[in-house]
Amino acid sequence: MSEVLMKVLTWAKAVDELAKALNKWVLYLSHSSGELPDIEKAAPIGLSKTQLIDLYIDRIWVVFDNERDARTAFGKVVGDDGPTKTNTYDGPGRVYAYLSGPDGGITENT
């Protein structure tokens, strides 16, 4: 019987692998709490209405060409830690964010 070769990835490892493969910065976003208008305020990074709906019902990966833009977007996302330096929103909406660069995972909000 031949061995089956496979690689098992966690979601974070999958984001890291995507960033490495694309040689880009990837911001993984997952809706944590709140309704759609709250999510828009918790993650004001220029998402279209369709992208916000995708985030509300599932999760999304946002790909950036450079670190500066990726970190700027990450800094605007309000997670369970509450408001950030660049987003003072403190309503019920919360979005989990994980940032990965071409060299792997960088940071997350909780």
pLDDT of 1 > 70? The answer is no
Q: What is the pLDDT of residues 88-97, one digit of tens each?
A: 999 999 999 9
Q: What is the pLDDT of residues 52-74, one digit of tens each?
A: 999 999 999 999 999 999 999 99
Q: What is the pLDDT of residues 19-55, one digit of tens each?
A: 999 999 999 999 999 999 999 999 999 999 999 999 9
| Burial of 17 (C-beta count, 10 Å sphere; 0-12/13-18/19+) | middle
38: amino acid identity, one letter: D
Q: In the chain, where are the structural domains located? A: 11-108
Rounded CA-CA distance 84/90 in Å is 9
pTM attached to this predicted model: 0.90
The closest of 28, 39, 42 to 98, measured between CA atoms, is 28
